[in-house]
Amino acid sequence: MRNKSVISEARDIRLAVELIELGARLQMLEVETNLSRERLLKLYKEVRGESPPKGMLPFSTDWFMTWQPNIHASLFMAYYRFFKGNTKLVGLELIIKSYRMYIDQITRGHMDTVLSLTRAWTMVRFFDARMLQMATCKECSGHFVSHAYDPTRGYVCGLCHMPARAGKTRKAAALAAAQAEAKAEATTQA
């Protein structure tokens, strides 16, 4: 057994708890802390009250290109790039701060969280590996995540050119049905 600083271990435990609370997967915890897998499993179960999800981490840049994930990923990257250019935050601190801002905006907008912390962390790694880049929309001048080395001249984002099925989820249909029912009930009571 190697000698380990109690303070260093306490820092790793605090960081692991924060990451678990934000929804980090076990593989991310293993990379970002010096805690053993067994220790992380116990910590995860203690914090979440359940075993961590199984399976591999996402390793495809394609997920970030679909309509809704692209908008959420682009929002996160806007915060990430702002904090990177205007603060002294680096590494995981930068990702955590950006992700907290993303969550805050999504919560205020009463939207579902599409981008998990693990996907955000993976996306930053994709940018570092030059697998992803930012493209500027020619219509709104916003910056959006795109595949690296894809031509970006004439790029139009998913907000300016929404797909025909955008927003047509079961949840949106159920919400629309509930609103129509409430409206019908209100008119019959009047």
* pLDDT one-digit tens code per residue, 133-152: 999 999 999 999 999 999 88
Work out the pLDDT band at 2, boundaries 50, 70, 90.
low
- Tell whether the model's pLDDT for residue 68 goes beyond 90: yes
pLDDT at 5: 85
Digit-coded pLDDT (tens) for 99-136: 999 999 999 999 999 999 999 999 999 999 999 999 99
* Cα–Cα distance for residue pair 166/162, rounded to 1 Å: 6
What's the whole-number mean pLDDT along residues 149-165?
A: 88
Digit-coded pLDDT (tens) for 22-54: 999 999 999 999 999 999 999 999 999 999 988
- State percent of the chain over pLDDT 90: 70
* Cα–Cα distance for residue pair 135/121, rounded to 1 Å: 20
Name the residue ranges covered by the structural domains of the chain: 6-48, 58-190
What's the whole-number mean pLDDT along residues 145-162?
A: 91
Measured in Å, how far apart are the chain's first and last C-alpha atoms?
Answer: 76
Tokens of 132: 């992803």
